[in-house]
Amino acid sequence: MSLFNQLVSRTIMHIPAPVVRFFAKGYIAGERLEDAVRVSRELNGRGIMTTIDVLGEFITTLDQAENFKRECLGILDTIDREKLDANLSLKPSQMGLLLDREQALANIREIVARAADLGNFVRIDMEDISCTDATLDFYRALREEFPGHVGVVLQAYLRRTPADVAALADAPMNFRLCKGIYNEPRTAAWKNQETINRSFVHILEKMLAAGAYVGIATHDEKLVFEAMRLVDEQGLKPEQYEFQMLLGVDEELRDIIVAAGHRLRVYVPYGESWLPYSRRRLKENPSIAEHALRQMLNM
Ligand code: FAD
């Protein structure tokens, strides 16, 4: 990691909000749902699907959860009205998981029920390990009630993930597989990048072999290659899986995936809580700041 990147990573929590906003603006659609609609429409026009996410997590009151639930219902209605090729991603903690588990499930259930009515789909994002068990329980309950309208995220860095896939294999499975973004203890998560990559491929192979629909969420060229190899080896049709990437990240790789005939979905976050999301992205990948700075200075 360059000195500049180390500096960004270590000082990110103290960098003033306007500076963070400058570096992160390409990674967020804007503050309002209409921004996410505009970005989704542009991407749809290029043959790319989206998943819309309203920013906000680890809330402190159930009123906030109620507001996020209403916002999510509004997203689904808007996708339907605007005829977008888009679905919804949400975070269990945003729905109150760490405040009142039953209420959080009721909130998510209402959203998935609306998605089912509209013929759409809800992806339940995966947060840190304090949320894993409950999130998987929610997924299990909701896929039984609304089959085909809900999926969950699994993280390749967690040692438990292969066992979670096996435990969920008693009904059709719909996963997003990603490396995982939270700073977990070594007892729970692989720490070495090469090990995480091998785990990703190992788990993806198991998921596809078990007939799961997988959103292959990575910008890592090595993993994209491995995923293409696996779908080819298993003779899968493009509608049996999809690639997923974050808004604003490696658009060249995005185009390569689409040009090769694979389906791709971009995660389109919007909302007023852009600061924690942006800080997380910058901490995870300080090269974002370096790229933005180079562009600004025309280097
Ligand atoms: P990396 O090795 O981290 O990145 C590969 C290359 O991609 C890097 O060298 C860099 O050039 C580029 N890159 C990667 N990330 C960025 C970035 N943010 N900005 C700029 N360049 C970047 N994690 C969870 O824990 N739970 C979730 O629910 C979740 N949902 C996700 C949904 C989607 C659609 C995606 C794409 C990721 C999601 N993640 C989630 C994040 C994921 O776990 C990883 O932290 C993130 O994708 C980086 O891993 P990577 O596979 O891209 O590989």
pLDDT: is 6 or 21 the higher one? 21
Q: Is the CB of 126 under 6 A from ligand 1?
A: yes
Only one residue has tokens 């998560």, namely 189
Q: Is the CB of 290 under 6 A from ligand 1?
A: no
CA 142, 157, 239, 281 dihedral sign is positive
Q: Write out the two tokens for 163.
A: 């066992």
Q: Is the CB of 158 under 6 A from ligand 1?
A: no
Which amino acid makes up residue 228? Answer: M
* Whole-number pLDDT of residue 164: 98
CA 200 to ligand 1 center in whole angstroms = 13
Q: Write out the two tokens for 233.
A: 């080896």
Q: Is the CB of 269 under 6 A from ligand 1?
A: no
Q: Write out the two tokens for 150.
A: 């809900």
How do residues 111-158 score in pLDDT, each as one tens digit?
A: 999 999 999 999 999 999 999 999 999 999 999 999 999 999 999 999
Between the CA of residue 258 and those of 42, 51, 228, 286, what are the distances in Å?
A: 15, 16, 12, 27
Q: Write out the two tokens for 138.
A: 């929610």
Taking the domains of the chain in order of start, what are their residue ranges?
A: 1-28+273-299, 29-270
Q: Is the CB of 22 under 6 A from ligand 1?
A: no
d(CA 182, CA 129): 9
Contacts of 96 (CB under 8 A, 6+ apart): 59, 62, 64, 65, 103, 104, 107
Q: What is the pTM of this model?
A: 0.92
How do residues 195-252 score in pLDDT, each as one tens digit?
A: 999 999 999 999 999 999 999 999 999 999 999 999 999 999 999 999 999 999 999 9
299 pLDDT higher than 50: no
Cβ atoms 114, 107 nearer than 8 A: no
d(CA 239, CA 235): 12
**77 tagged catalytic:** no
Segment 280-296 shows an average pLDDT of 64
83 pLDDT higher than 50: yes
State the binding site for FAD.
126, 155, 218-219
**CA angle centred on 10, ends 9 and 12, rounded to 5°:** 65
Q: pLDDT band at 37, cuts 50/70/90?
A: very high
CA 81 to ligand 1 center in whole angstroms = 30
**279 tagged catalytic:** no
Considering only CA atoms, which residue is closest to atom 9 of ligand 1?
A: 220
* Whole-number pLDDT of residue 2: 65
d(CA 82, CA 79): 5
Pocket residue to mutate for ligand 1, from 284, 285, 287, 290, most atoms within 8 A of Cβ: 285
CA 59 to ligand 1 center in whole angstroms = 23
* CATH architecture for residues 29-270: Alpha-Beta Barrel (3.20)
Active-site annotation holder among 114, 176, 254, 265:
176
Q: Is the CB of 94 under 6 A from ligand 1?
A: no
Would you give the distance in Å from CA 36 to the centre of its chain? 15
* Whole-number pLDDT of residue 80: 98
* Whole-number pLDDT of residue 289: 64
Active-site annotation holder among 125, 143, 254, 265:
125
